[in-house]
Copies of this chain bind each other. A is one copy, B any other.
């Protein structure tokens, strides 16, 4: 039985970890922390988690909880995560960090985009970017997983084979992404209130969104050269889901069918990635509540452009599901454990 602690368990990613792990028979949740909700029951905030009626939020007292768990899921806000991750990692624990604090390998880039210092460069060097489809072997060896951001997961998985195969001009990549509202987290904010989001649609964070350098880091590593991208996120009036529509000039003349065939070769052994047939495109609804990824492809012969569309559930494959996938890998359990549920449709 793996003992699990969730640090920062009062947000949506924390709650989603609890939901997913409720189907994981090899796991026991021993601790859930929250500063704001300390003393409250998990079920006070999340009645749907009634199986955890015994769990009470406690403040994050690192020493106090150190020996309660083998695996620490860190679902703290950015910056707040740095020190706690460092602590548990150095104490020899397995740490899966859902914040952005250990995703960017260059602290200067982190500091530029997150406007806060990174004080744990040494620990950072031990972190592995937890996208199993690309880094599975390194994840297996690691005790510190930087769980990818939601937008980066959708974008990188969509672009990976095309870049790797030299199909597209990496200078020309445009990522037009759309996310359900849970991506903003659980918070009291007029901008995310029902009446402001519903029946609306808007772009936000144009040019400035913090997932930009994370995507660039990973795409650059795939390409073997520095890449800068255009990334525009949008807010969709739905709870969950990301659709990422990506455009890049083609370097070779390749037909849609062939691109699909290349992608299938890359992903057919992957348990969570479905490359769709020609003429079929992803829908956020098809992956809602699940750890699956849909990828659709189309060549625009008129403009010599490849259009890639990917879909994930931002809270599952884009956060907590991928975190559990990473846990399964580092603990040597079957990778798909507790993650096989199909999407809830409709």
A interface residues with partner B (beta carbon < 8 Å):
12, 15, 19, 22-23, 46-51, 174, 176, 178, 180-182, 186-190, 192-204, 206-207, 228-230, 232, 234, 236-241, 243, 245, 247, 274, 276, 280-290, 292, 294, 296, 298-303, 305, 307, 309, 311, 340-346
Contact = CB atoms under 8 A, between A and B. Distances in A.
A186 B345 CA distance: 12
Given A188-B189, A207-B307, A230-B305, A346 B195 contact: yes
Contact of A206 (B50, B307, B343): B307
Copies in the complex: 4
A298 B195 contact: no
A283 B201 CA distance: 5
A155 to B, nearest CB: 14
Contacts of A299: 207
A197 B300 CA distance: 26
Contacts of A202: 243, 281-285, 311
Given A47-B294, A239-B346, 8 more contacts: A23-B341, A50-B274, A181-B195, A182-B195, A182-B346, A194-B197, A198-B237, A228-B302
User: Looking at A22, A47, A243, A343, which has the most chain B CB atoms within 10 Å of its CB?
Assistant: A47
A109 to B, nearest CB: 13
The 7 closest A-B pairs by CB, nearest first: A200-B285, A195-B346, A48-B343, A202-B283, A289-B344, A194-B197, A176-B176
A17 to B, nearest CB: 12
A188 B181 contact: no
Nearest to A22: B342
B238 A201 contact: yes
A238 B238 CA distance: 9
A292 B50 contact: yes
A55 to B, nearest CB: 13
Contacts of A23: 340-341
A20 to B, nearest CB: 9
A194 B201 contact: no
A283 B181 contact: no
Contacts of A241: 199-201
A50 B294 CA distance: 11
A345 B285 contact: no
A231 to B, nearest CB: 9
